[in-house]
Structure 1
Amino acid sequence: MIKAIISSCLVLCAISSGFSQDYELMNTGDTYQALKKMHRGLRVLYIAAHPDDENTRLIAWLENEKHIETAYLSLTRGQGGQNLIGDEKGDALGVIRTYELLEARKIDGGEQMFTRAVDFGYSKSAKESFAKWGKEEVLSDVVYAIRKFRPHIIITRFPPNRYAGHGHHEASAILAAEAFDLAGKPDAYPEHLDRVNPWSPGAMYFNTSSWWRKELDDKTEAELKEENMHRVNIGVYNPISGLGMNEIASLARSKHRCQAFGTSRDRGERFEYLELLKGEWNANLFDDLEGIWSRSAVHKDALESILNQYSFVDPEGNYARFVKEFEPKMAQRNMWAESLDMKYVSQMASRIKQSMLGIRVEAYASQEAVVVGSSYKVEVEVYNGGAESVEVRFTDSGVDTTFDIGAGKRLKFDRVFTAPEAPSTPYWLRQPHNDLYTIEDPRWMSEPRLVEHEISYTIKRDVPIRSKTEIHRKWTDRSVGEIEQPLQFVPLVSISNATKTLIVQNGKGVDHAVSVHAFGKVDGLTLYPSGYSDALAKTDVSIEKGQKFTQSVTHSSESPSGQQHIITPEAKIGDKVYSKTIRTIEYDHIPNISIAEESELKLIALDLKSPDGKILYIEGSGDEVDESLEIIGYDVERLPLSEAVDNLDQYKAILVGIRAYNTNEDLIAYQNKLLEYVNNGGNMIVQYNTSRGLKTENLGPTPFTLGRERVTEENAPATWLKPKHGVFNHPNKLTNADFENWVQERGLYFASEWDENYTPLISWKDSDEDKEAKGALIVTHYGKGTYFYSGISFFRQLPAGVPGAYRLLVNMIEYQP
């Protein structure tokens, strides 16, 4: 759920849903795995298009069985998709999916990277995708990611053609192949070279599958070799974690909750296929690649010796061997590896040594939200779980102190910090964007998130260990225990509108509420609910911390139908003007993330025959269609079917929310009652459902089948198959203008087959297709009533304020056979 912050309470969430938690030490099993990864010295970059496209089975196997450092480069953050767990769309959905990826990577062990490409929704070709993004821009980003991560191997998820099933998928494969060739050339994107160096991966593979090629599982090893293809069994068991690789993958994949990717744990033999696309064939795949140790076998030998003597119950002994056998080799002055590899080894060695010593350093504040520019207290806690005293020195501007801490001791102290001047918001949303994000600092390119504030320190016993810890929020709830979340910085006040889009019908005034939430005590505030210098300004307002002040205003319009106006409510305190609203995304499987955005209200003039009456809205996976209908005058009730079923005849219409037949168990139990309502003269409108995962196949009074057809071009011409039908004529007379200025798409998951009782009303097609999709809106008369199935994306159009979508849906609600 995404909402404006209007109270001082946060939804409690599990400790595991936090962020990087770099202050938590590795146990001896994880430390052993880290040593194995450093010993292996290989990096793989996996490239695809969206969150959830990545093959978590292969990533888990590479990271945890082969001990290869693996990163997933997703072209987009997935904001153009659907959402099964809430009503977030667009940028807010992209934030959810970004953090779902980060939670997945915590489980399978991989790292996460992105380009600037914005997910604009389903695309049917790479050509369309490149036209939206700009191919050169996204290719530059992929080259940059390769140069930054410096992989020895690249693996793609999709083929570079229409078999990829999505234009973004196809584009990811094309870009990966071209970037493979360009990343090592200094004259390609030279603007990168002040931050990264050219880098040439050794080989590129396509992670093909028996999903595309059913015959692969039956091929012999010799037959696969003829196609330059490896078959690997990723279903191996790891005795240290007690999990199989595919079991780890299942847990990671289940973090993609908003895409309904929860899955049961998979165990046992499972094959993946890697087809060589570029580079030389290696019969041993990755096993004999030298990686970062190509210049110095002695470093790798030293690590192998440490691994051979490793004890899972004697971290002090492990530390002593590491310091004796490997540390002196790191101090050698010769270039025993690439300079960036030397830096990587040094950082990894510090993490390993700190965990062996058991030195935990954490910095946290207890405040829910810190006002920008204000002072706040940070608790610093140092715990020495080792066997000997160590020296800890803090070298941060806010903490400059040195002390010794004895074995088994904990030391706590506090310092006062000054909050930054800008509110917390995902860095890729700080600037307006279209089809590419605008990144303020090029050093942030490809990063999944930024750290707001971290503290640097050095631990010294035998050798110095340099590290950092991120300041976060931590508090204790008596019913839950210790809870950790990112620390959020906010403006003194947040301005929020009751709705982001307001439909104003000619001749009618519409009331609208503007609220100010105070994150600190406020005196002398002036609220301009319709923008600065508004005659309706409310002056000299005082608000206590945590309280909200609301002012209601009435908007009217004589503008032509469809004309839009943007209003930005503002508040002024002294010389400071505030116009941001702070929204927080709160789910228990990801951290709480705030988004700071302008408090814009879109006013849309609409010629709409006055709708009224009571509607029952049956919730699905989450949308804002019901709120949109309330704005234009309908009395919308949201009741469980078990409560509403005995009085269905009071409703003018029953609307079923998106994906309700994928998520709402009540629809199975009470489907007969809904159809009885239709038979007795009711009007039932079912919005889109996905063909996979239906709770029942019997959606309508007579059979129809859902397909996967969609029309992705939002301006695709509409063909009215029955122009005289009431849906196009009453109470609003529709014209072609009603199908202009739609957003993202026309619709999705259209009906593919239906019996003779249904009448298709609208057809569309994308510009590169010959066949019209006729299942976007079908209707049947059943008894005395009417049943509609609609794949039209009302869930996008109505919140965006598309006038024609409102007029069409009102006609469907008001339709009488």
Structure 2
Amino acid sequence: MKLLRYLALAVMGVTAPHVQAQTPAASSSEILLQLKKLNVTGSVLYIAAHPDDENTRLLAYLASERKLRTGYLSLTRGDGGQNLIGKEQGEMLGLIRTQELLAARRTDGAEQFFSRAFDFGFSKNPQETFTFWNKGLVLSDVVWVIRNFKPDVIICRFPTTGEGGHGHHTASAILAEEAFKIAGDPRWFPEQLQYTQVWQPKRIFWNTFNFGGLNTTSESQMKIDVGGYNQLLGKSYGEIAAASRSNHKSQGFGSASTRGESFEYFKQLAGSSAKKDLFDGINTSWSRIPGGTAIQAAISKIIAQYNIQAPERSIPQLVAVYRQLQSLSEKNPETHYWKTQKEKELKAIILDCAGIWMEAAATDYKVMPGASIPVNTQIILRKKAAVELEQLVYAASDTAMQLQLKPNQLYAFKHADAVPVSQAYSTPYWLQQPHNTGAFIVDDQLMIGKAENGPALSEQVHLKIDGVRIDYEIPVVYKYTDPVKGEVYRPLEVLPPLTINLPEAVNVFRNGKGRVLSLTVKANKPDVNGRLSVTASGGWYADVEQPEIHLKSAGDEAIIQVYVEPVAGVPSSELKASVRIDGNSYEKSIRRIDYEHIPAQFTLSSATTRLVSIDMYKSGNNIGYIAGAGDEIPSCLQQVGYKVTMLNDDMIEQGDLSAYDAIVTGVRAYNTNPKMQQHYKALMNYVKKGGNLIVQYNTNNRISSVPVDIGPYPFTITRDRVTDEHAAVTFLRPDHAVFHFPNEITQADFDGWIQERGIYFATDSLNKYTKVLSMADPKENAQDGSLLIKAYGRGNFVYAGLAFFRELPAGVPGAYRLFANLLGLPVHEKR
């Protein structure tokens, strides 16, 4: 046999690793549940706007009690929200929340889908939402998902009438209702029909709710008890829901389990009438498919005879059902759909019944196009069953084997997987091109709706099980053993030979002065030798003193100094970097995300940085910073010349705070640091003695409250905000020092702000604080809680709901100047 020269046959005992934590082996009771699901042909699609909008208890109930194919379509990836666990914002936050949603779906048993809509931040109404989202484009995505998922029933989380609060919420319901009406009409989005077929769901509901002080439920509505207990899983649906929702860690949505009856309410919006149940009159048995009645009877017999202590005894009958599925005619699109879906389910059940475990593990987590990487493919049959390894196909090479697998023996095949020269670099498909304000750009129709990319490399395993060939695909992954975490898996990455990382996405230069930027060039393979070049647009000066790159080993890095200087009259520029190797130019930058609760994530993009020249003066230099949930303000302040010291709890309690001209608390510091109450006295004494304390926004809601004192006098943090970044700003106290020292602040300083003016404004019922700004979203009353200032002792206390955490990293000049004025508020005479 051709593979013998590559074959290393190992026979040993083995314990199941954490493998592919995304698809762990099923227990015998879980196999029985999957068999029961195999006998149901109904489907339901839940639609809302964001990660966390979904009703996880209802999803768990539909997936495991009703045994329906269940999906959640989140229109966005949550890119515009806040981050409780780190500094990531925008697209990087969307990456985190995508993985958190996938973890939630692995918990509750549903599937995950997305549209191309970009979460641009909080929106107060659907009209504003659709000024950013291309409504027709997002509608086409919803129709596309419906036509492919083919739900019998659609459920909206929110209504079209606005009770959901967020404009995205209302927009999601509007789009769901419109898509319900047109998904079955071939005149709508006909370009999709070369890949799929039209589909008309039977009915659509609104899942009414009672939370946030608003009760939209009614006893006149359809209601269903979803609080049951699933003996096969050993959990109630309330317990499953809590575990699912607790995956949303970047939002701080850890949830407590619920047990006992729990009703969900539904208002029907359109479709055939239903009185008692979501699926009234809808056939969810195999009889809906021509030739399906015999399959129903065969699966029912397998369930009746299933031996929970010996699942492998069901394999012959399961293989017989597989052959029945293969013989179904696909002339009917619905038959093709259910045949494809049930084959996928059945193949997984057969693997679990046989106790078959398969893995393809590479020796490194990265590989270059055109290169090859050693891979160890392992297979073990852990139950007594007739299984033959017929073929192993990797990197377009197929190898005949005809190897009869012996129970509980681990077979290992060492070989090299080649990566095609044409292989694209790994990066999330929706981030391969720069997105616009409201949507990601995805040119491949077949990728739209998918939660994430497929594996960079995969291998085909052809098994003959009980005499019938069944084909499987396994991803090539990388694994290693961590001394604390144990066995750790990560996806295989296809990368360029090197990456070039610039220090920040935006680099700020103060008062026309040049400075040195440090670029990091990292080798992804041995012996990288090249030359770095940089260019700056708009006439800005950029020079590399030592451009030659010599990196001996994969993983080696070189720090290259680039001197950059603004040019008068050109407020911004773009710096591009590239390295030329053997006539080829490489210009990719990499950004990585590493959290324990999700797989390693990264993006590749052009090695560019925006350069911004700001005319700004500062008073004081030494800034103390108390970290919160995570933001980029410290590095932003360092860019414009401040010395920033990160203050830990001991430094606050025992250190000399008078050394700092100002102290700033990071976003949500009072939500995330339980010792802030303990620090209250020290911080107030600091202010009394002449210091400036600037407190950035905190939240005060059911998820993240503020149980501590913040300022010298009480004030209340609200959910008020101004989401229009262009909203007019009124100076309530134009004579206040905050507008004059050390920078003169004018209306022009509020130009160019991004996403919003501010969030979580404050109210001051005792009128102890000075309110210096007023602003309003369109057609709303003016709000004056974005910036509260109080002279206290010789110093000043500030509560800032203004979105500095977004504006400074974006290089907004006016935000820098105003923040500098807050840091430099004048010391008062001793009172």
Q: Which residue of 2 aligns with 1:440?
A: 443
Provide the C-alpha distance between the structure 2 equivalents of 1:60 and 1:544, rounded to a whole number of angstroms: 52
Q: In 2, are the aligned partners of 1:730 and 1:815 still within 8 Å (CA)?
A: yes
In 2 relative to 1, CA 814–156 (structure 1 residues): closer, same or farther, beyond 3 Å? same
Secondary structure of 2:687's match? helix
Q: Which residue of 1 aligns with 2:714?
A: 703
In 2 relative to 1, CA 216–600 (structure 1 residues): closer, same or farther, beyond 3 Å? closer
1:797 corresponds, among 803, 807, 811, to 807
Please show how residues 65-76 of structure 1 align to structure 2 within 5 Å. Answer: 65-76=65-76
Provide the C-alpha distance between the structure 1 equivalents of 2:215 and 2:566, rounded to a whole number of angstroms: 64
Q: In 2, are the aligned partners of 1:235 and 1:269 still within 8 Å (CA)?
A: yes
Q: Which residue of 1 aligns with 2:613?
A: 605
Secondary structure of 2:210's match? coil
Q: Which residue of 2 aligns with 1:512?
A: 517
Q: Which residue of 2 aligns with 1:3?
A: none
Q: Which residue of 1 aligns with 2:276?
A: 283
Amino acid corresponding to residue 434 of structure 2 in structure 1: P
- Residue 318 of structure 1 pairs with residue 318 of structure 2: no
* Percent of pairs with identical residues: 37
2:392 corresponds, among 391, 394, 401, to 394
Q: Which residue of 2 aligns with 1:363?
A: 360
Q: Which residue of 2 aligns with 1:569?
A: 577
- Give 1:551 deviation, angstroms: 1.8
Provide the C-alpha distance between the structure 2 equivalents of 1:518 and 1:611, rounded to a whole number of angstroms: 42
Q: Which residue of 1 aligns with 2:34?
A: 34
2:683 corresponds, among 663, 669, 674, to 674
Provide the C-alpha distance between the structure 2 equivalents of 1:443 and 1:811, rounded to a whole number of angstroms: 51
- Give 1:287 deviation, angstroms: 6.6
Q: Which residue of 2 aligns with 1:553?
A: 562
Cα deviation, 1:322-344, whole Å, max 9, x if unaligned, reads: 34567446535586962221222
Q: Which residue of 2 aligns with 1:498?
A: 503
* Backbone CA RMSD of aligned residues: 2.2
- Give 1:683 deviation, angstroms: 0.7
- Residue 331 of structure 1 pairs with residue 322 of structure 2: no
- Give 1:521 deviation, angstroms: 2.2
Cα deviation, 1:251-301, whole Å, max 9, x if unaligned, reads: 010000001101222222222112211121142433763136213333223
Q: TM-score, normalised by structure 2?
A: 0.92
Q: Which residue of 2 aligns with 1:458?
A: 462
In 2 relative to 1, CA 216–757 (structure 1 residues): closer, same or farther, beyond 3 Å? closer
- Give 1:77 deviation, angstroms: 0.7
- Give 1:19 deviation, angstroms: 6.3
- Residue 84 of structure 1 pairs with residue 84 of structure 2: yes
In 2 relative to 1, CA 335–535 (structure 1 residues): closer, same or farther, beyond 3 Å? closer
Please show how residues 481-492 of structure 1 align to structure 2 within 5 Å. Answer: 481-492=486-497
Query: In terms of mean alpha carbon deviation, does 271-280 or 439-448 score higher?
Result: 271-280
> Which ranges of structure 2 fall in alignment gaps of 5 or more residues?
1-15
2:300 corresponds, among 301, 304, 313, to 304
In 2 relative to 1, CA 789–539 (structure 1 residues): closer, same or farther, beyond 3 Å? closer
Query: In terms of mean alpha carbon deviation, does 620-629 or 528-537 score higher?
Result: 528-537
- Give 1:764 deviation, angstroms: 1.0
In 2 relative to 1, CA 324–522 (structure 1 residues): closer, same or farther, beyond 3 Å? closer
- Give 1:212 deviation, angstroms: 7.4
Q: TM-score, normalised by structure 1?
A: 0.93
- Give 1:699 deviation, angstroms: 1.6
Amino acid corresponding to residue 246 of structure 2 in structure 1: S
2:817 corresponds, among 807, 810, 813, to 807
Q: In 2, are the aligned partners of 1:100 and 1:255 still within 8 Å (CA)?
A: yes
Secondary structure of 1:206's match? strand
Q: Which residue of 2 aligns with 1:169?
A: 169
> Which ranges of structure 1 fall in alignment gaps of 5 or more residues?
1-13
Provide the C-alpha distance between the structure 2 equivalents of 1:17 and 1:506, rounded to a whole number of angstroms: 55
Amino acid corresponding to residue 255 of structure 1 in structure 2: N
Provide the C-alpha distance between the structure 1 equivalents of 2:821 and 2:330, rounded to a whole number of angstroms: 78
Provide the C-alpha distance between the structure 2 equivalents of 1:453 and 1:664, rounded to a whole number of angstroms: 43
Amino acid corresponding to residue 793 of structure 1 in structure 2: A
Q: Which residue of 1 aligns with 2:8?
A: none
In 2 relative to 1, CA 16–697 (structure 1 residues): closer, same or farther, beyond 3 Å? farther
Q: In 2, are the aligned partners of 1:612 and 1:633 still within 8 Å (CA)?
A: no
Please show how residues 710-721 of structure 1 align to structure 2 within 5 Å. Answer: 710-721=721-732
Provide the C-alpha distance between the structure 2 equivalents of 1:256 and 1:576, rounded to a whole number of angstroms: 42
Q: In 2, are the aligned partners of 1:523 and 1:540 still within 8 Å (CA)?
A: no
Q: Which has the higher contact order (CA 8 A, sep 6+)?
A: 1
Please show how residues 127-166 of structure 1 align to structure 2 within 5 Å. Answer: 127-166=127-166
In 2 relative to 1, CA 325–575 (structure 1 residues): closer, same or farther, beyond 3 Å? closer
- Give 1:236 deviation, angstroms: 1.1
- Residue 655 of structure 1 pairs with residue 660 of structure 2: no
- Give 1:125 deviation, angstroms: 1.0
- Give 1:399 deviation, angstroms: 4.5
1:734 corresponds, among 745, 754, 764, to 745
Amino acid corresponding to residue 585 of structure 1 in structure 2: I
Provide the C-alpha distance between the structure 2 equivalents of 1:753 and 1:798, rounded to a whole number of angstroms: 27
Provide the C-alpha distance between the structure 2 equivalents of 1:334 and 1:72, rounded to a whole number of angstroms: 27
Provide the C-alpha distance between the structure 2 equivalents of 1:138 and 1:371, rounded to a whole number of angstroms: 35
In 2 relative to 1, CA 459–722 (structure 1 residues): closer, same or farther, beyond 3 Å? same
Q: Which residue of 2 aligns with 1:412?
A: 412
Q: In 2, are the aligned partners of 1:678 and 1:684 still within 8 Å (CA)?
A: yes
In 2 relative to 1, CA 765–16 (structure 1 residues): closer, same or farther, beyond 3 Å? farther
Q: In 2, are the aligned partners of 1:611 and 1:633 still within 8 Å (CA)?
A: no
Q: In 2, are the aligned partners of 1:353 and 1:465 still within 8 Å (CA)?
A: no
Provide the C-alpha distance between the structure 1 equivalents of 2:775 and 2:710, rounded to a whole number of angstroms: 23
Residues matched between the structures, number: 792
2:346 corresponds, among 331, 349, 360, to 349
Q: In 1, are the aligned partners of 2:536 and 2:573 still within 8 Å (CA)?
A: no
